Structure 1
Amino acid sequence: MTDKPNEPSAVAGDLPPAAPRPAGEPVRSPFDSPTEQFATPSGVQTTEKLPRTDEELGLDPEVPLYSQVMNVIPGAADSTTTEPSSTYTFASIPPAPPSPADSNGRVRRRDDRRGTLDLGLLLLRLIIGGTFVYHGLQKATGWFHGPGYDGIRTAMENGGWKHVDLAAPLLIAGELGGGIMVALGVATPLAAGALLAVILDAWMWKQSMVPGFQYSAKGNSVELESVLVGLTTVLILTGPGRLSFDRNRGWATRPFWGSFAACAAAIAAAILAYTYLHGGNPLTGITFD
């Protein structure tokens, strides 16, 4: 009794069996030669065309080939490796711009160091604020040999002020409140503007008492008031510096148009207040002969 090799059973729809392999021919596999074209089995007719183009394979024709974009990427045409270039143009983060250089070719670096500037501005604020607080306490409480509230009201009435009940509290509040805020560096443009308006009214008041320019006159000098006007104006224009509560504000280290506006508002407020509460002409009899 002879053994017969197991043969697969025929299934409906399967291809007919191929012709028997000649004796002695080695068994071949498609993996031995992937690019080899095998003959179509006998008795099978195929009408389907094998895909050969990108369109037939279903590829997107809009995708460029590497040979088409290699010139777009700097360094890709001359590179022999597959590593991307350090200046890849399609990177989401652009490279840092080059450092600016002056006409001599030297690199200009930004210097944020301020040296003793902030310390100087702190000292300036303490001098201005302390001076105004000192005079405000003299008028409000009578400390430091001051006139007190009743004394300043009497002095303002004798000096020609019309609405003493309003003028005296405004004067004391401006000196005390503005002085404390300037010393601490809180809302410095507004606080220094209030002090500038107060000291301008004081300057005009003393200047109007006697005809002529009273800058260095004996008994009625406006020299101190003139110096305080200059100091408060300088503080508005420079800002309080970083050693203040305004250190995170733009006007603390880089004041600009806001400083001009604060100065203009302070001058306008001083003129309006003096015109309404006093009304005299501070420039009467001034000559420069």
Structure 2
Amino acid sequence: MDIGLLLLRLALAALLLGHAAQKSLGWFRGAGLAGSATMFHGLGFRPARPMVVLASAAETAGAALILLGLLTPLGAAAVIGTMTVAAAANAGKGLWAHHGGYEAALVYALIAAALGFTGAGAYSLDAPLGMSAPPVWAGAGAVVLGLLATAPVLLRRRAVLRGAAAAD
């Protein structure tokens, strides 16, 4: 089981780090900071450039904690939050990624949530701290914290989109 958790953590962290680098650095055929800010602006995330920086930083921090297996529920919360916002932004396109939907964001958030409940396993920095298998409340707390953190961002986006619709 510990090897499985390690592989899951490594895969999720690598994908999230790439996802963040696309937005912030333009790596892996990403839009970079300027292009991502234009996209964020169009999606109603304002101010767009700071929102790109915030999203990239949260994804990177969550990925790093998950990669290291350090404070895994906290890393999971960061990933759950950022991926919930990403999923909300693409919800109108449906589930499937090939139509621009929220499939990937949902999968990343669910994997992070699972890791929040299972912990990072024996091959982690949590293990020597006695936190390799956290209590259920830590996983539930990761989910709740991640979802609560989305509220200001999504409420602000909703207000921006309503204002834009009213102006039309």
| Fold-level similarity (TM above 0.5) | yes
1:130–1:218 Cα change, 3 Å: closer
Contact map agreement 1:129 1:182 (CA 8 A) in 2: yes
Give the alignment partner of residue 40 of structure 2, picking from 156, 159, 166: 156
Return the offset for 1:251. 3.3
Contact map agreement 2:81 2:150 (CA 8 A) in 1: yes
Task: Find out whether 1:185 has 2:69 as its counterpart.
Answer: yes
SS in 1 for 2:131: helix
Structure with more relative contact order (C-alpha pairs < 8 Å, separation 6 or more) = 2
Q: CA RMSD in A?
A: 1.9
Give the alignment partner of residue 176 of structure 1, picking from 49, 60, 63: 60
Return the offset for 1:125. 0.5
Q: Provide structure 1 residue ranges, at least 5 long, that are not aligned to the other structure.
A: 1-116, 281-289
1:159-186 per-residue CA deviation (whole Å, 9 max, x = no partner) reads 1212213311110101122112211112
Task: Give distance in 2, aligned partners of 1:195 and 1:134.
Answer: 13
SS in 2 for 1:176: helix
Task: Find out whether 1:267 has 2:147 as its counterpart.
Answer: yes
1:137-159 per-residue CA deviation (whole Å, 9 max, x = no partner) reads 11121111111111100111111
Task: Map 1:230-269 onto structure 2 (within 5 A).
Answer: 230-269=110-149
Contact map agreement 1:141 1:148 (CA 8 A) in 2: yes
Give the alignment partner of residue 158 of structure 2, picking from 274, 279, 282: 279
Task: Map 1:1-289 onto structure 2 (within 5 A).
Answer: 117-208=1-92, 210=93, 214-216=94-96, 218-276=98-156, 278-279=157-158
Task: Give distance in 2, aligned partners of 1:171 and 1:257.
Answer: 26
SS in 1 for 2:58: helix
1:178–1:239 Cα change, 3 Å: same
The list of structure 1 runs, each at least 4 consecutive aligned residues, that deviate by more than 6 angstroms after superposition, is none
SS in 1 for 2:128: coil
Task: Give distance in 2, aligned partners of 1:182 and 1:234.
Answer: 12
Q: Could you say which structure has the larger radius of gyration?
A: 1
Return the offset for 1:217. 7.0
SS in 1 for 2:127: coil
Task: Give distance in 1, aligned partners of 2:100 and 2:44.
Answer: 16
1:217–1:176 Cα change, 3 Å: closer
Return the offset for 1:232. 0.8
Contact map agreement 1:126 1:183 (CA 8 A) in 2: yes
Calculate the TM-score normalised by the size of structure 1.
Answer: 0.52
Task: Give distance in 2, aligned partners of 1:137 and 1:193.
Answer: 20
Task: Give distance in 2, aligned partners of 1:225 and 1:258.
Answer: 22
